[in-house]
Amino acid sequence: MKRVCAALAAAALAIALWQALVVLTGLPPFILPGPGRVAASLWANAPLLTEHARFTAVNLLSGLAAGVLLGVVTALHLALSLGARLLLRPMLIFAQAVPVFALAPVLTLWLGYGAASKVVIVMLVIYFPVTSAFFDGLMRLPPPLADLAQLMWATPLRRLFLLQVPNALPALGTGLRLAVVYAPFAVIIGEWVGSSRGLGYLMLMANGRGQTDLMFAALLVLAAQSLVLFAMLEACWPRRD
């Protein structure tokens, strides 16, 4: 309840600051629309926003699921195999050094303007944070647990799944929190580069037509999706404070 009240208070403060900025600067609505104009646009364009938000949400969730699954499997493989660490870790670091956003046009060319390219972009963006965070947690087994595994003659698989994985779950939670923050940016970049649907596409079209209020409305819907994802993660995977 306290978190809900804090979130509502933060939202009210943000809206008040937004309105104050509009009033104090005197910027025209086509540059910075006020909260009232954006709320009116949300109401008037609700069916349009819902249609595009559905496409973005499906791509976002699909990319998240694929990226998290691939990241978890990769981290487990790295923790289990010294050879994988020697071969795959340099490749992962090199792949991360290449901006995925720079690859977005190439992925769109290869996979088309549909959902596939957006899902792959989201997957690639969140893959490294999830893999890195989970792998670090797997390799940080407390010495008493490591000694226990050695005394019990535990096999590498039993050591991994009975000791390392439970100990690494908080680290995986950190990786997931990073993933739900990065994923919305990734899906929007993919829709900006090439798409005929989605909130990113709608924002581009609204910007080109001077419909700034609609552009802000689409941005708010995207922010709402991100907040819902983060809240769901916090509810299912609370921090250990």
In a 3-state reduction of DSSP, which class is residue 183? helix
CA distance readout (Å), 235 to 3, 128, 171, 173, 239: 11, 24, 16, 12, 9
Residues spanned by the domain of 71: 33-236
Establish if 156 belongs to a structural domain: yes
Mark whether 80 and 191 lie in a shared domain: yes
Q: What whole-number distance in Å separates Cα of residue 220 and Cα of residue 114?
A: 23
pLDDT at 240: 62
pLDDT at 92: 78
Contact at 8 Å (CB) between 116 and 124?
no
Tens digit of pLDDT for each residue in 221-236? 999 999 899 888 888 8
Lookup result for tokens 């908080």: 170
Which residues are CB-contacts of 99 (< 8 A; sequence separation ≥ 6)? Answer: none
Establish if 241 belongs to a structural domain: no
pLDDT at 122: 93
User: How is residue 169 written in tokens?
Assistant: 């779950």
CA distance readout (Å), 161 to 10, 75, 134, 150, 156: 41, 12, 13, 15, 9
Mark whether 24 and 88 lie in a shared domain: no
Per-residue pLDDT averaged across 50-65, rounded? 95
| pLDDT at position 142 over 60 | yes
Number of domains in the chain: 2
Establish if 112 belongs to a structural domain: yes
Per-residue pLDDT averaged across 6-15, rounded? 77
pLDDT at 241: 52
Q: Over the chain, what is the mean pLDDT?
A: 87
Tens digit of pLDDT for each residue in 168-223? 999 999 999 999 999 998 999 999 888 888 999 999 999 888 899 999 999 999 99
Would you say how long the chain is, in residues? 241
Per-residue pLDDT averaged across 56-83, rounded? 93
Amino acid at site 135: F
Tens digit of pLDDT for each residue in 85-98? 888 877 777 767 77
Contact at 8 Å (CB) between 78 and 89?
yes
| pLDDT at position 64 over 90 | yes
Mark whether 9 and 116 lie in a shared domain: no
| pLDDT at position 103 over 90 | no
CATH number at residue 78: 1.10.3720.10
Establish if 109 belongs to a structural domain: yes
User: How is residue 208 written in tokens?
Assistant: 């080109």
Establish if 228 belongs to a structural domain: yes
Establish if 111 belongs to a structural domain: yes
Closest-CA residue to 57 (of 232, 238, 235)? 232
Stated pTM of the model: 0.89
Mark whether 107 and 178 lie in a shared domain: yes
Mark whether 149 and 232 lie in a shared domain: yes
Establish if 95 belongs to a structural domain: yes
Lookup result for tokens 């689409």: 218
Mark whether 7 and 56 lie in a shared domain: no
Mark whether 85 and 138 lie in a shared domain: yes
More confident residue, 83 or 202: 202
More confident residue, 100 or 35: 35
Mark whether 121 and 219 lie in a shared domain: yes
Mark whether 81 and 182 lie in a shared domain: yes
Establish if 86 belongs to a structural domain: yes
CA distance readout (Å), 68 to 55, 135, 228: 20, 13, 18
Mark whether 168 and 91 lie in a shared domain: yes
Mark whether 101 and 68 lie in a shared domain: yes
Mark whether 108 and 206 lie in a shared domain: yes
More confident residue, 55 or 102: 55
